[in-house]
A = this chain, B = another copy of it.
């Protein structure tokens, strides 16, 4: 039960994209700046694009930019884009295997209403989802502006400007 590294990669990258409004930043730059694999990072951006989080500019001098306002991009959106939308808990309906049951004529209690254990686990995921939906990229950006030394923020901005 672990998140893919793509979640860390993606969130850090998206943070750099907030400043890039009309223009775009290439995978090459994003990968170089963070010292990660270019080709691997590109796989995650494909998912982010498919989920409407970023949009791409094809061709030379192309790259990526946010597809919508950072206020509307939540941590959950990114997690879901990268990890897929399968629920964390996959119930195998083990209850329907109970040896005392007639497999060809299962009681309503085992087919109609969801298994309580399943329900609790789904609710647990919903708790995490709710929390992550409350954290937007805009919020992250603003917090970082306040907490990281402005000299470093400026240097980052300039590095990307140079390669725009």
Contacts and interface: CB of A to CB of B under 8 A. Distances in A.
Given A140-B117, A149-B107, A98 B7 contact: no
A35 B97 contact: yes
A148 to B, nearest CB: 5
Contacts of A98: 33-35, 156
Interface residues of A, number: 58
Contact of A94 (B12, B79, B113, B156): B12
Contacts of A33: 98-100
- Residues of A contacting B: mostly: helix
Interface in A1-20: 1-5, 7-9, 11-12, 15
A46 interface: no
A99 B32 contact: yes
A106 to B, nearest CB: 11
Contacts of A91: 8
A131 interface: yes
Contact of A75 (B88, B120, B143): B120
B8 A117 contact: yes
Interface string A32-71: 1111100000000000000000000000000000000000
Given A5-B90, A98-B156, A124-B132, 6 more contacts: A8-B92, A33-B99, A107-B152, A113-B147, A120-B140, A124-B128
